[in-house]
A and B are shown apart, each in its own frame.
Chain A
Amino acid sequence: MKVIDAFIDGLMRIKRAPWLGIGLWLTTFLIALPLAGLLLDQIQASLGASLAAREAASGVNYDWWNEFLAQTSGVGATFVPAIIGFAAVIKNLSTFADVGAVPTVILGAVVTNMVVSLFLIGGVIDRLARDRAVGASAFFSACGTFVGRFLRLGVIAAAVYWALFGPYHRWLFDDVYKALTAEVTVERTAFFIRVGLYIAFAIPLLFFNMLFDYAKIRAVVEDRRSMIGAIAASWRFIRRQPIAAWALYAINALLFLVVIGFYYLAAPGGSANLSAFAIGQLYIVLRVIVRLQFAASQTALFQGRLAHAGYVARPIPKWPDSPAAEAIGPR
């Protein structure tokens, strides 16, 4: 299977599984909603019956905003101008790349989302690999089947990511960057040095990300129980077809950039109200699709190269009859 075919096949599989996208979007929505409710209370209390609320409702009341930030804590402290429009994306990517501090309450939401994603990802890959409707019970059965395995995989992944985002990042950006720029008198040079270090950070990060992606795919498609074995199998797959694996990853990354670009053009400013929220949700849906596309296209590539489309070793699980059936059925 060609890379481009895997890419297109991935998109088609997502199209044929709309509930996956809806479900993942709903996950982010439901995790974010309670915290948004907390913030709503804080903002409402801060503005009270003040006339300042009118400007805040119709546009950006930066004076009030600064007063709010000076008095608030917790969720409220994350309510900064960078949440407006495309700045939100820039801020989050910058936080990710620079390993910026995330407040505890937000970290809780992030971890919750990761745990939920870890639970769902087995069912998601299973559904994308089968490329046909399996029903909710089979989907969640697959989720349940793989969550234990992916927790084990997650421990290994967490250790790797900790090493990358912890000591490796600190070494790059605290030690190497400072040493390389100590005598630099041209800001542009310092920036390009930083870009070089971002690349040095991204290469192992993307490699391990891809390695764990294919490990999950092989675990689901081939019904692997050993996660170390799945990682080894993933490594063999990538090693045998590095160009295809990296090219597909790059095309998917390009799709991510296209989505980002769309939001850059479409994101409304601070005056917009519900339209901004609607466009924001559309953008989140597109981000969900990109995320699914990584899984779907990589699954398609793997099945196209080592198995066949729609192949999974594990049969579709069927729920047994309810115990109540014994009472009403023939003895």
Chain B
Amino acid sequence: MVPVGQLGAPKTANYDIDVTLDPGARTITGSELITWHNPGVIAAYSIRLHLYWNAFRNTRSTYLQQRHLVGDNPFADADADAFGYSNVTKLIRLNDDGTETDLMKADFRAISPDDQNKDDRTLWAVSLKDAVQPGGTMRLRVEWTGKFPKNFDRTGQIGNYYFVSQWFPKLGVFEAGWTAHQFWANSEFFADFGDYDVRMTVPHGWVLGATGVEQSRTDPSTALGASAPKMTTFRYTQEGVHDFAWTTSPDFIEHRQQFTLPGRPAVNIRLLIQPEHDYLANRHFAGAVAALKYYGEWYGAYPYPTLTIVDPPYQSESGGMEYPTIFTAGTRWLSPRYSNDPEYVVLHEAGHQFWYGMVANNEVEFAWLDEGINEYSDSHVQDVALQPNYLVQRFFGDFIPWQYRDIPLKRATDTNWMNTYRRNPDRDSISVPTANLWPGTHQNMSYHKTALMLHTLERMYTWEVMQRVMSLYFARFKFKHPQPDDFFNTLNEVTGKDHKWFIEQVYQSSNTFDYSIDRLTSEAIETRGFAEGTEFKENTEKNMFRTTVVVRRLQAGQFPVDVLVTFSNGEQAREKWDGRGRWAVFTFDKPVKAVSAQVDPERVLLLDTYYTNNSKTTEPANKAAATKWSLRWMVWLQDLLMTSAFLV
């Protein structure tokens, strides 16, 4: 049996690590003892080790090839020194009888099960002479060296800043066999829970932040003599996590704040912030507190004693990334007060402590389960706790912010990223394994469409129902690895309904949704005809008007919608349409004329890409609006003409 810790997390993969940073060479040298308990129901005859930094070893890695697909070639002009790598130098199995087996002499090799890319060295395998039986234990000693890539996705170095993530040889997940993938540009990570005890040696005087709780700080250089470079070793431990990241820099300013709420464990929030962002420290804390408060209230309490926010420096390329109990949250030097920068990214990454940190789905295959659920959740928190939040755009080399106090960003569309989703709604579907999503639309599916999908469910059932779905799903799969079906089964269970149609239309398909009111007329009810050589016309129902509403489904996506007609006396009539046909006609006979008709009047279907066409009125204001905005635009053009006339 796999032992379980105090938090309730299984101790499947446990790491005891020593690592030393050499800033001059931009390398780390480490050794680790992995204690692994087989959680599966079958024996393990081999192991899988991730060496993520090899994604930056050459330009033919799967990671960089995937980036190339969308024209992104980050190492095109880089010198040799910019590349990074991870090399295992020793891999020894510590047998139960006290003997050691050198696995480097076995078939330790890079494998590429996902794409057969021989140039990819991010996933390694080695056969075990003696299988690890279900519930059995294996101990491995690994020594390795790693070279930081220059500041790159989520990790690397720039100046005196090091963000050290995906840095140690790490086991895959063993379920019914190994679930271990190469490192893809789209995808993030997947690992088992365990205990971490990590000792990090860095230059003396540098500030360090890491997953977990600091246990000690020692100065090993004193033992090595006065001539040795002054170094400090920090020891951090944490149980019940599935990864470990750390950062160090002499430039961080440190702030601390304690999060307390009755009935919840206290959390020491530590902020390591860049000096130029120091004035934003309270806003970083506001984002983190909002996440701990609302996610804790809605889903379940944050159980760890610490949470470390790392504010990375400019151009660090590690602006927003989550790791257990530590995350990066980048911001800008100039950040207008009534915008959610930095609050949003802090909130989002802190939210990942729940969706990813505790509910630990496979991010390589189903990133939407954490990214999308988290986006949906943080959008809701922004709505209730971080207002006002106005649109900001930047000018002059993207430095100078301008805030539009006329444009508050709304949850339904803006912070659910509808405007981004609308650009490419049909290039993929959420159900495609994340690593296989087109790199340019991965975010659109995993983040944006999922957030819109979940918010649509909320509008179908109310937030209270949705909160029950999410909290039950959270409780069931905390410290586990849920699959998409686990989420949908929970949804079905709580709502008491089968969502097969919803899953087909929204989750599995790449269909776009767009309903419109095609026609709205209100006319006196007359009969006109021709009989026995005479044309006749009669008002068949005195003082009655027939209102005709034609509703259309303009895209392939099908969704049941309401049709609401408002009449001149204020009366309203509502009809339901299953939304399956391409069009439907609704007629209403009333003593008054209609003034407007709306399809999906409450905007339940947030995935409807064009909502302007969802209504029609008999008293349109489009002329007034067009006149107003074209005149406003004209002033802008005149200003441009005056500015360019400077040259004449």
The 8 closest A-B CB pairs, nearest first, are A280-B635, A94-B395, A270-B406, A185-B313, A47-B622, A40-B630, A56-B625, A43-B626
What CA separation (Å) do A266 and B167 show in the bound complex? 55
Which chain B residue has the least Cβ–Cβ distance from A287? B642
Which chain B residue has the least Cβ–Cβ distance from A44? B626
- Beta-carbon contact of B612 and A35 below 8 Å: no
- Beta-carbon contact of A32 and B314 below 8 Å: no
- Beta-carbon contact of B397 and A91 below 8 Å: no
Which chain B residue has the least Cβ–Cβ distance from A87? B402
Chain A nearest Cβ from B521, distance in angstroms: 11
- Beta-carbon contact of A70 and B624 below 8 Å: no
Residues of A within 8 A of B614 (CB): 50
Residues of A within 8 A of B404 (CB): 60, 81, 84, 87, 270
Type the 1/0 row for A52-92, where 1 means its CB is closer than 8 Å to any CB of B. Answer: 11101101111110111011000000110111100111111
Q: Given A88-B636, A273-B628: A28 and B615 within 8 A (CB)?
A: no
Stretch of B87-95, B116-124, B226-234, B407-415 with 4 or more beta carbons under 8 angstroms from chain A: B407-415
- Beta-carbon contact of B625 and A291 below 8 Å: no
Residues of B within 8 A of A114 (CB): 644-645, 647-648
- Beta-carbon contact of B647 and A64 below 8 Å: no
Residues of A within 8 A of B631 (CB): 36, 274, 276-277, 280
What CA separation (Å) do A113 and B645 show in the bound complex? 7
Type the 1/0 row for B389-405, where 1 means its CB is closer than 8 Å to any CB of A. Answer: 00101011101101011
* Residue among B313, B395, B624, B636 with most chain A CB within 10 A: B636
Chain A nearest Cβ from B206, distance in angstroms: 15
Residues of A within 8 A of B617 (CB): 49-51
Q: Given A62-B414, A121-B648: A185 and B613 within 8 A (CB)?
A: no
Q: Given A185-B161, A194-B396: A67 and B407 within 8 A (CB)?
A: no
Residues of A within 8 A of B628 (CB): 56-57, 273
- Beta-carbon contact of A50 and B406 below 8 Å: no
What CA separation (Å) do A46 and B231 show in the bound complex? 65
Q: B625 is contacted by which of A57, A110, A118, A194 (Cβ under 8 Å)? A: A57
Type the 1/0 row for A113-141, where 1 means its CB is closer than 8 Å to any CB of B. Answer: 11001100100000000000000000000
Chain A nearest Cβ from B582, distance in angstroms: 20
Residues of A within 8 A of B399 (CB): 187, 190-191, 194
Residues of A within 8 A of B274 (CB): 185-186
- Beta-carbon contact of A110 and B642 below 8 Å: no
- Beta-carbon contact of B629 and A43 below 8 Å: yes
- Beta-carbon contact of B613 and A50 below 8 Å: yes
Tally the A-B contacts, defined by beta carbons under 8 Å: 264
Residues of B within 8 A of A87 (CB): 393, 402, 404
- Beta-carbon contact of A33 and B636 below 8 Å: no
What CA separation (Å) do A196 and B402 show in the bound complex? 21
- Beta-carbon contact of B419 and A188 below 8 Å: no
User: Is A271 part of the contact surface with B, judged by Cβ < 8 Å?
Assistant: yes
Interchain residue pairs with CB less than 8 A apart (23):
A28-B641, A41-B626, A44-B623, A47-B620, A49-B618, A51-B596, A56-B628, A59-B406, A78-B637, A84-B632, A87-B404, A91-B395, A92-B639, A157-B647, A186-B314, A187-B314, A190-B314, A190-B315, A191-B399, A209-B647, A277-B631, A277-B634, A280-B638
Which chain B residue has the least Cβ–Cβ distance from A47? B622
User: Is A109 part of the contact surface with B, judged by Cβ < 8 Å?
Assistant: yes
* Residue among A53, A157, A161 with most chain B CB within 10 A: A53
User: Is A315 part of the contact surface with B, judged by Cβ < 8 Å?
Assistant: no
User: Is B76 part of the contact surface with A, judged by Cβ < 8 Å?
Assistant: no
Chain A nearest Cβ from B640, distance in angstroms: 5
Say whether chain A's binding surface is mostly helix, strand, loop, or mixed.
helix
Residues of B within 8 A of A51 (CB): 596, 598, 615-617
What CA separation (Å) do A66 and B419 show in the bound complex? 7
Residues of B within 8 A of A67 (CB): 422, 609-612
Residues of A within 8 A of B405 (CB): 269
Q: Given A28-B642, A49-B616: A184 and B395 within 8 A (CB)?
A: no
What CA separation (Å) do A287 and B612 show in the bound complex? 37
User: Is B536 part of the contact surface with A, judged by Cβ < 8 Å?
Assistant: no
Which chain B residue has the least Cβ–Cβ distance from A191? B399
Which chain B residue has the least Cβ–Cβ distance from A39? B630
Chain A nearest Cβ from B92, distance in angstroms: 39
Q: Given A50-B617, A53-B625: A70 and B423 within 8 A (CB)?
A: yes
- Beta-carbon contact of B413 and A56 below 8 Å: no
User: Is B256 part of the contact surface with A, judged by Cβ < 8 Å?
Assistant: no
Residues of B within 8 A of A71 (CB): 610
Q: Given A81-B404, A113-B644: A48 and B639 within 8 A (CB)?
A: no
Which positions in B face A, CB cutoff 8 Å? 158-161, 251, 274-276, 313-316, 332-333, 391, 393, 395-397, 399-400, 402, 404-407, 410, 413-414, 418-419, 422-423, 520, 596, 598, 609-618, 620-648
- Beta-carbon contact of B622 and A50 below 8 Å: yes
- Beta-carbon contact of B276 and A106 below 8 Å: no
Residues of A within 8 A of B407 (CB): 60, 62, 81, 270
Number of A residues near B (Cβ < 8 Å) is: 92
Which chain A residue has the least Cβ–Cβ distance from B634? A36
What CA separation (Å) do A215 and B399 show in the bound complex? 37
- Beta-carbon contact of A188 and B635 below 8 Å: no
- Beta-carbon contact of B643 and A194 below 8 Å: no
Q: B396 is contacted by which of A31, A97, A109 (Cβ under 8 Å)? A: A97
- Beta-carbon contact of A94 and B396 below 8 Å: yes
What CA separation (Å) do A88 and B636 show in the bound complex? 5
User: Is A235 part of the contact surface with B, judged by Cβ < 8 Å?
Assistant: no
User: Is A22 part of the contact surface with B, judged by Cβ < 8 Å?
Assistant: no
* Residue among B410, B616, B626, B627 with most chain A CB within 10 A: B626
- Beta-carbon contact of B622 and A110 below 8 Å: no
What CA separation (Å) do A26 and B144 show in the bound complex? 74
Which chain A residue has the least Cβ–Cβ distance from B158? A185
Chain B nearest Cβ from A199, distance in angstroms: 13
- Beta-carbon contact of A32 and B637 below 8 Å: yes
- Beta-carbon contact of A52 and B612 below 8 Å: yes
- Beta-carbon contact of A187 and B332 below 8 Å: yes
Q: B159 is contacted by which of A121, A183, A277, A291 (Cβ under 8 Å)? A: A183
* Residue among A57, A97, A276 with most chain B CB within 10 A: A57
Residues of B within 8 A of A81 (CB): 391, 393, 404, 407
- Beta-carbon contact of A88 and B635 below 8 Å: yes
Extra A-B contacts (9), CB below 8 Å, given A32-B634, A92-B643: A47-B625, A49-B616, A83-B636, A102-B640, A109-B641, A114-B645, A185-B161, A186-B313, A209-B647
User: Is A257 part of the contact surface with B, judged by Cβ < 8 Å?
Assistant: no
- Beta-carbon contact of B406 and A84 below 8 Å: yes
User: Is A93 part of the contact surface with B, judged by Cβ < 8 Å?
Assistant: yes
User: Is A283 part of the contact surface with B, judged by Cβ < 8 Å?
Assistant: yes
- Beta-carbon contact of A191 and B333 below 8 Å: yes
What CA separation (Å) do A56 and B648 show in the bound complex? 37
Q: B630 is contacted by which of A37, A49, A173, A194 (Cβ under 8 Å)? A: A37
Chain A nearest Cβ from B53, distance in angstroms: 21
What CA separation (Å) do A29 and B610 show in the bound complex? 34
- Beta-carbon contact of B647 and A284 below 8 Å: no
User: Is A316 part of the contact surface with B, judged by Cβ < 8 Å?
Assistant: no
Contact residues of A between 153 and 202, Cβ < 8 Å to B: 154, 157, 161, 173, 181, 183-188, 190-191, 194, 198
- Beta-carbon contact of B639 and A287 below 8 Å: yes
Which chain A residue has the least Cβ–Cβ distance from B642? A287
User: Is A262 part of the contact surface with B, judged by Cβ < 8 Å?
Assistant: no
